[in-house]
Amino acid sequence: MNIQSSLVEKIYEYKLQNRLNTEEALNFAQQAIETHNLRAVEIIAENFPRTIVDVLQTESDMANIILESSSLFFQIKDFFTPEEKQLLLKKIVPKLFRHAERIFQAIDRSKYPVKIPYTPGISWHLEDTIANFLLSGDFNFTYKHVVCTKRQRKQKCIVLLIDKSHSVISSLKLIILTSILFSLSMNAKDIALIGFDTQPEVIKGFIESQITTQDIITRLVNIRSGGKTNIFSALHAVKKEFSHQIGYKKTLVIISDLLATSGMDFLPVLKQMEDVRIILTPRRRTLQLTAPILGKLQKLHNIKLYLMTTDERSIPGLLEKVLYD
Higher pLDDT among residues 132 and 210, named by residue: 210
Say which range, 18-27, 196-205, 304-313, 315-324, has the weakest mean pLDDT: 315-324
pLDDT in tens, 58-83: 998 899 999 999 889 988 988 999 99
Average pLDDT, the chain: 87
Residue type (1 letter), 310:
T
The pLDDT > 90 percentage for the chain reads 54
Q: Residue 121: pLDDT band by 50, 70, 90 thresholds? A: low
Q: What pLDDT, on the 0 to 100 scale, is given for residue 290? A: 81
Give pLDDT, residue 125. Answer: 72
Q: Which residue has the higher pLDDT, 57 or 154?
A: 57
- Output the pLDDT for position 161: 97
Give CA–CA dist 31/46, Å, rounded: 17
CA-CA distances (angstroms) from residue 22 to 47, 72, 84, 244? 9, 18, 22, 51
The DSSP secondary structure of 235-254, one letter per residue, reads HHHHHHHHTT--S-EEEEEE
Minimal CA–CA distance to 147: which of 125, 172, 180?
Answer: 125
The string of DSSP letters for 185-239 reads HS-GGGEEEEEESSSEEEEE-TT-TT--HHHHHHHHHT--------HHHHHHHHH
User: What letter does residue 148 receive in the DSSP assignment?
Assistant: B
CB-based contact 227:259 (threshold 8 Å):
no
CATH architecture of 156-324: 3-Layer(aba) Sandwich (3.40)
- Helices 82-104 and 315-324 pack at an angle, to 10 degrees, of 70
- Among 4-8, 57-61, 110-114, top mean pLDDT goes to 57-61
Q: What pLDDT digit, counting tens, does each position of 183-206 carry?
A: 988 888 899 999 999 999 999 999
Closest CA to 172 of 162, 161, 181: 162
User: For the range 6-15, what are the long-range contacts, defined as Cβ-Cβ under 8 Å and sequence gap of 24 or more?
Assistant: 7/31, 7/32, 7/35, 7/37, 7/40, 8/37, 8/39, 8/40, 8/43, 11/40, 11/43, 11/44, 12/43, 15/43, 15/47
pTM of this structure: 0.81
Nearest to 253 by CA among 229, 270, 272: 270
Reply yes or no on whether the pLDDT at 323 is more than 50. yes
* Domain parsing of the chain, residue ranges: 3-81, 114-149, 156-324
Comparing 158 with 148, the larger pLDDT belongs to 158
User: Over 60: is that where the pLDDT of 166 sits?
Assistant: yes
Answer yes or no: is pLDDT of 115 > 50: no
Torsion of CA 301, 303, 309, 314, to 10 degrees: 90
Task: Note the pLDDT tens digit of each residue in 252-302.
Answer: 999 999 988 888 999 999 999 999 999 999 866 666 678 888 889 999 999
Q: Please tell me the predicted confidence (pLDDT) of residue 114.
A: 44
**pLDDT number for residue 146:** 79
pLDDT at 137: 79
What average pLDDT does the segment 26-37 reach?
A: 94
